[in-house]
Structures are given as structure tokens and as C-alpha cells.
Chains A and B, each alone.
Chain A
Amino acid sequence: MKIDLFVTCLNDALFPKTGQATVALLERLGHEVRFNAAQTCCGQMHLNTGYRADALGLVRKFVRDFRDAEVIVLPSGSCAAMLRELAPDAAHWEGDETLRSEVQALSGRIFELSEFLVRKLGVEDVGAAYPHRVTYHPTCHAMRSLRVGDAPLRLLRHVRGLTLLELPHADECCGFGGTFSVKNPDVSTAMLADKARHILETGAEACTAGDNSCLMHIGGGLHRLRSGARTVHLAEILASTPERVWA
């Protein structure tokens, strides 16, 4: 299958390894990965912070860049949720019905990585090996907007050598919320403290998730605590093999 990678701005700039792992994984599964270098950002940060016109400018750009894609895969649940669930509403609020229908026309081709593998490709064993104790945090947008369900867990259960530890209160938000973490630092910090405590209670070496934004927040908190536990994107675990460890 010809797969267009929308790597997302955060991954591009701060977590390139996640994008590289996604490419390695999809190619290992026999697909052709394309990267349109014109791409930038889904506009989520602008929309969620209340800058609708800026956000829609970026959504328009996304539509232009990916209009001809067969499938678009994102290693980010929140950006996929932005494009599939929020962008059409926002276009409607601004009275741009053309953009609304354009982005809606693309939405059936937009997939978060884990749902693409499990739901679209029907693959649960991607041939990965990662001999570590890992706990999984289901990020809010993947869980509640995209309803990816247990797709990430199904993938993790097939990873050789991986010990999957159940995260207590897993479905509670980590407290990131984009600019929420900067505008309401005290509440965000209190939420993070609970999430970090629950992760450390599992005794995991690493916490994984499908979104580097949440992981940047959780990982930043774990690092500040000098806890020793780290964060790793799901794509990097799934790309790992005995020959090449990504995470």
C-alpha cells in the first residue's frame, strides 16, 4: 500500500526518531511510505487555544498537501482526532463549508498508527522485540475521540520479550492538554503528579503511548522527579527488533 506519512510538527521538530520508527515499521510490513515535504501542522494547537482562523489556515494546507493520498498515517492520536473530529466543526463555525466537506472527504483515509495497523491492515504481530517492562497510557484523544480501544494493547501483547504492566487509573488524563499545561500550570502539575505516581507504582522501566505530546509532558515530569522511568512512543517499540533497537 502507498502510505502518506503525516509526521506532525511536534514529531518532526522534537521527536524525529518516532517518525523514523514509523517509516521503518511500515516498510518492514511491506508498504511504500511517502513523505510530502510541504506538510507542517494540523492546526490543533491553534484551534484548542482559540485561534480558529490560524488553525483553519493550517487545515486548508493539510487538505492541499494530502488531497491525493490513498491513506494518511499519523503517529499521533490527538492530531488524527483534530483532523477527523474537530476540523470539520471548526470549518463550519467559520462558515467555510467547502473546507468542511474537503476535510471530511479525507477523514476516512486518516489513521492513527495503532488503529491503522490493527483495524485497517488487520495486523497485531508486527514482528517487534523489546525486552523491557512497559506500561501503556491510553491518551485521551485516541481513547475518546478516535475510539482506538485496545488496538495499542493488542500490538504490545505481541511484542517479544515485552512485559506489559497494567497502569492504575489508566484512563485519567495526564494533565498535558496543550497550552492548558502552560496556562494552568498548577492544575496540570497536580494531574501529572498522580499520573507519574501511578506509572512508578507499576515498576515499569518505560511508559508508552501513541502521542509524543502527552509523553513529552509525562516524560518531563518523570525526569524532573529523577525517577529513572522513561517514556517511549509506541512506534519506537513496534519498530524495535533484536537487530535494531529504536527506543
Chain B
Amino acid sequence: MSGLHPEQSFPQAAKAEVNNPQLRANLRKVTTTIREKRLKAVGELPHWEELRVLGAATKDEALANLSDRLLELESSVRARGGHVHWARDAAEARELVAQIARGHGVTELIKVKSITSDEIELNAALDAHGIHAIETDLAELIVQLSRDTPSHILVPAIHRNRAEIQALFNRELGDPEHLSDEPAVLAGAARRYLRQKFLTTRMAVSGANFAVADTGTVCVVESEGNGRMCLTLPEVLVSVMGIEKVLATWEDVSVFMELLPRSSTAERMNPYTSFWSGVTPGDGPQEFHLILLDNGRTDVLADEVGRQTLRCIRCSACLNVCPVYERAGGHAYGSVYPGPIGAVLTPQLLHMQDKNANTLPGASSLCGACFDACPVRIDIPQVLIYLRGEVNAGKGTTLESVAMGAMRYAMSEGWRFEGAVKLARTGQGPLVHDGQITALPGLLGGWTQSRDLNPFPPQSFREWWKKREPGGES
């Protein structure tokens, strides 16, 4: 997996992941814990539901006026000494970062955890230019050192356990002493490695959680403080930001400072929130570039149903409550955006044109837990159902569409449905063994993989009703 494009369909990829008992045990443990913590953190605020409504409305307002907000952001950033660039797609954004790096002659840069940079596959592109990007978020560092890919928006190494990290650090960080598997020891090794990078690297790349149009302020919210080191120590800072991250005013940010930490880490407030506006002579980076990335977002915005997806503040609450994510794990989604939000965002960012990504809207039992957890009220089940329709519309006639059409025809009249049920009852004979169906053919075979099925009973409800009612036909 890399970037947005899944290499396999979801059912194929999930098959491999779901049969890994260690992965399932790890995920079950972590998601159960974080689910309970989130409920507690959210329960502390009596006005949580109103906050969600306000969060959704604030994002919708910014999105409805997106071009104005972005132009305003551009001029505010420039007025404060920053540079603004526009990137239509991943390739343009990557090229812009590489150009800036080359212009400063750097061969190494440090990075703040940024899923947007993963979306555009920045690290690999920079490598091709001979520029090494170093992840400074602990979990991202683990993923990078193990040449792996993130499997969760907030906890990228959720699928790794302590022993694996011990072996990895002993191998990769070239520590003179053998490290124990104590979390404090492992974190200490990462700290020594990263501190040296913070103090010697001249350029940093970040994403952005929010940007404020009227003040030209960019914001990063994090837990470890590594981000703040990257945002303050180097000479040059480049922030790559999806265009949907812009908010109108400084006050708007405050809503999300309540919604985001409680939804993502179940904390009342996250440890580090950094804001910067352009450049300040003698303090912090002396050169600041903001890259505004579209990469499919304008198309998503143009869709009346799909556009609510762009409200997402990447808190990952939907992943942690999703029963499908919990069983299949993040890699099964084949995109940097896993879980329920990934199932709606990834195919849309790919213009509904990617065959594998188009299986993602099907990767849900539509249980609705994601909608209840979403701090900005994205009706993910609604979007999933809508996108399933969009996917089918692009497919033409299939075995499934014919079967569905036939069922629709059978159900177009009461008597026709009755006839179809009678026919099925007669036809099911060879499938019934000891009063149960244990193996179904064709499209329905997936059912009997793990479940038996009651056969059609001798009498349907409507047949019973007819005989029951004195005046009914029979």
C-alpha cells in the first residue's frame, strides 16, 4: 500500500488480515480501551451534541465559501511574510516540496506527523531526489524504520507490539547498548536519535490541522512535542495542507479544540497545540511555505451528498468504534485513510474511478456507530449507501445487477412475490439437509461459509393470512 491507491479489493485484503489472530487481539484491546475512554471524555461535556452541530455547521460554512476563504488565507499568509503555493494533485505538491528543498541544498529534512504528506507519498518522492525525510512522531518513526505503512490515522503503529519495536530499534537506531522492551527505554532511544536530528536539520515539513483565513494562521495539534520542535527549530518550514482544512476565523478554531482531543485521544486537551502566522524575524523558521493541496477535493465538494466527507478533522473516532476496522485492521483499506472515513474519502478522492477503492463503500455493515462517534456529524452510513449507488452506476450490467433486477420484478406485485416464494420453496429441495441449508451456490456462497440457513417454510405469511381471513381468497 502507498498513498491512496489500494492494491487489492477490500474483501481480498481483509481476508488475509482478518485471519491474523495477533492483529485481531491487538486491535480489539486498543480499540475497546479507547472507545471507553472516549465515551467518558465526551460524557463530561453536557453540551456535546450542540458542539457537534456547531462543529458541522462551522466546517460547512467554510466549505460553502471555500474559494473565498482560500484566497483570504493566501493573502493573509503573504502579508505575514509566508509563501503560498497551489497544488492540483499529489505530483505537483511533491514537486513543490522537492524544489524548495533543492533550493536550500538540503539532503535531509524532518517531518511532523502528517497524513496529507502520506497521501501524496512525499517521502518516497523526496528519496528519489536524494532527500531523506525523517519522521519525528514516535509511531510514524516506527512505521518508517520498519519500512511499513501506517494502519491508523492517529496511532499509525497500532498493529505493532512492544517486542517488535524493541527488535526494530536495536537494529535500526544503532544504539550501543541492547535496549530492553520497557516503553521508557524505547522512547529514550528514539529521543536521543531525534534530538540530534532536531538540532542539526535545516528544513521541516508539516501538515495542518486547521488554517485560519483572516489571520493567516496555521495550526498543528499533537501529543509528543516532536511537532513543535520541527515547527520552531529549522530555518525553513513547509506545510502541506488539504484545502478543506481552512476555517474562517480564529474563534472557529475553539470549537475544534473541544471536539478534536476528546474524540481522538479521549483527552480534555492535547499536550501541544502550535499556531504560527507567517514568519517572525529572529524567531522560528525564517522562511515559510504553505502548499494548498486539492488532489480530488474539489470534486468531492461538488457532490451534494459526498461533500460532508470534507468536514473530517481526522480524529479517528470512527475507526475506533468500527466493528469492521476492528476485525480487518487498517491495511485492509489499502489507503492512508482507513476505517469508515477512509471507506468514503478514498474512493471520492480518486474520482470514483479506482476499481479497488470502489470496493471500500461496501466495507461496512452500516451499523452506524461511526456517525454517532463523529464529532462533526458526517453521516458516514448515508454516504456509504450513496457511494454504493455511484459505484454501480459506473459498472453497467453485472450478474448482481441482473439478480437485483429480477428480485425487484418479483417484488413489483404481491401475487408475483407469492409465486416467487413458492418457486423458491420447491427449488430449494436439493439444498436442504436435516432441515437446514448448509451450502449455497454462486453469489450466496459467502453466507454458508460460517452460517446455516433455515429453508423456506411450507407456508408463507400471506398464504397463512388468506386462509385465516373468512373473506379472503384461497
Quick one: which of B11, B19, B386, B451 contacts A93, CB cutoff 8 A?
B386
B408 touches A224 (CB 8 A): no
Q: Please give, as numbers and ranges, the residues of chain B lying within 8 Å of A185 by CB-CB distance.
A: 11, 446-447, 449-450
Stretch at the interface among A42-50, A112-120, A200-208: A42-50
**Cβ of A181 and Cβ of B400 under 8 Å apart?**
no
Complex: A174 Cα to B346 Cα, angstroms: 26
Cβ-defined contact, A40 with B421, below 8 A: no
Which of A101-117 touch B at CB < 8 Å? none
Tell whether A13 pairs with B460 under 8 Å between CB atoms, given A51-B401, A51-B408, A185-B449: yes
Tell me whether B382 is interfacial, beta carbon within 8 Å. Answer: yes
Query: B365 within 8 Å of A by Cβ?
Result: yes
Q: Is the CB of A224 within 8 A of B454?
A: no
Give the interface segment out of B84-92, B106-114, B162-170, B322-330. B322-330
B443 and A40 form a contact (CB under 8 A): no
Contacts of B463 in A (CB 8 A): 16
Nearest Cβ on chain B to A175's Cβ, whole angstroms: 6
Residues of B within 8 Å of A90, CB to CB, are: 385
Tell which of B391, B417, B447 touches A50, judged by Cβ atoms closer than 8 Å. Answer: B391
Given A182-B447, A190-B24, A48 and B412 touching (CB < 8 A)?
no
User: 8 Å CB contacts to A: which residues of B337-375?
Assistant: 361-369, 371-372
Number of interface residues of A (CB under 8 A): 67
Q: B residues 427-466 with Cβ under 8 Å of A? A: 436, 438, 443-447, 449-454, 456-457, 459-466
Q: A68: CB under 8 A from chain B? A: no
Q: Mark A167-197, 1 if CB is under 8 A from B, else 0.
A: 0000111011110111111111111110000
Chain B residues within an 8 Å CB radius of A61: 411-412
The segment from A123-131, A150-158, A214-222, A237-245 that touches chain B is A214-222
Q: Say yes or no: is B424 at the interface (Cβ < 8 Å to chain A).
A: yes
Residues in chain B near residue A143, CB distance under 8 A? 368
- Quick one: which of B362, B389, B404, B450 contacts A224, CB cutoff 8 A? B450
Q: Name the residue among A36, A37, A90 with the largest chain B CB count within 10 angstroms.
A: A37
Do A20 and B464 contact each other (CB < 8 Å), given the known contacts A61-B412, A184-B362, A187-B328?
yes
Most-contacted residue by chain A among B11, B363, B408 (CB, 10 A): B408
CB distance from A92 to the nearest CB of B (A): 9
CA A48 to CA B385, docked complex, whole Å: 5
Question: Given A12-B421, A16-B457, A16-B464: A51 and B451 within 8 A (CB)?
Answer: no
Q: Is the CB of A217 within 8 A of B451?
A: yes
Contact with B along A71-99 (1 / 0, CB 8 A): 00000000000000010011001000000
Chain B residues whose CB sits within 8 angstroms of the CB of A141 once the complex forms = 368
Query: Taking the complex as formed, is A163 at the interface, i.e. its CB lies under 8 A from any CB of chain B?
Result: no
Most chain B CB within a 10 A radius of its CB, from A175, A188, A216: A188
Describe B's contact surface by its main secondary structure.
helix
Is A52 an interface residue when CB atoms closer than 8 A count as contact? yes
Which of B368, B449, B456 is A145 in contact with, Cβ under 8 Å?
A: B368
Of residues 385 through 406 on chain B, the ones whose CB sits less than 8 Å from some CB of chain A are: 385-386, 388-392, 400-401, 404-405
B365 in complex: contacting residue of A19, A39, A176, A193, CB < 8 Å: A176
A residues in contact with B388, CB < 8 Å = 48-50
Q: How far is the CB of B395 from chain A (nearest CB, A)?
A: 9
Name the B residues within 8 Å of A172 (CB-CB): 323, 367
**Residue of B11, B366, B408 touching A48 (CB-CB under 8 A):** B366
Chain A residues near B460 (CB-CB < 8 A): 12-13, 16
Decide: A7 and B461 in contact? CB cutoff 8 A.
yes
A140 in the interface (beta carbon within 8 A):
yes
- Please state if A35 and B462 are interface contacts (CB–CB under 8 Å): yes
Interface residues on B, range: 35 or more
A144/B367 in contact, CB under 8 A? yes
Q: B256 on the interface (CB 8 Å rule)?
A: no
Return the contact of A51 from the options B365, B404, B412, B469 (Cβ within 8 A).
B404
Q: Which of B5-24 contact A (CB under 8 A)?
A: 10-11, 14-15, 18-19, 24
Among A9, A50, A216, residue most surrounded by chain B Cβ atoms (within 10 Å): A50
A66 to chain B, nearest CB (A): 13
Query: Is A54 an interface residue when CB atoms closer than 8 A count as contact?
Result: yes
A16→B421 contact, CB < 8 A: no
Most buried by A among B10, B369, B460: B460
Option from A35, A46, A193 in Cβ contact (under 8 Å) with B408: A46
A247 at the interface (CB under 8 A from B): no
Bound: A58/B459 CA distance, A: 24
Contact present for A40 and B411 (CB under 8 Å): yes
- What B residues does A177 contact at CB under 8 A? 364-367
Q: Is A41 an interface residue (CB 8 A)?
A: yes
Asked if B414 is at the interface of the complex by the 8 Å CB criterion, the answer is: yes
A11 within 8 A of B: yes
The chain B residue sitting closest to A141, CB to CB, is B368
Mask of B214-230 contacts with A, CB within 8 angstroms, 1/0: 00000000000000000
Complex Cα spacing A144 to B374, Å: 13
Known: A9-B411, A16-B463. 6 other contacts (CB 8 A): A20-B461, A40-B417, A93-B305, A183-B11, A184-B363, A220-B447
Shortest Cβ-Cβ A-B pairs, 10 listed: A177-B365, A220-B451, A50-B388, A185-B446, A173-B367, A144-B368, A19-B461, A16-B461, A140-B367, A54-B408
Q: Could you show 16 A-B contacts with beta carbons less than 8 Å apart? A: A13-B417, A16-B460, A17-B457, A19-B465, A35-B465, A38-B414, A41-B417, A49-B392, A51-B405, A86-B382, A140-B367, A143-B368, A144-B372, A190-B328, A192-B450, A223-B452
List residues of A whose CB falls within 8 A of some B CB: 7, 9, 11-17, 19-20, 35-41, 45-52, 54, 57-58, 61, 86, 89-90, 93, 140-141, 143-145, 171-173, 175-178, 180-193, 216-217, 219-221, 223-224
Residues of B within 8 A of A (CB): 10-11, 14-15, 18-19, 24, 305, 323-324, 327-328, 361-369, 371-372, 382, 385-386, 388-392, 400-401, 404-405, 407-408, 411-415, 417, 421, 424, 436, 438, 443-447, 449-454, 456-457, 459-466, 469
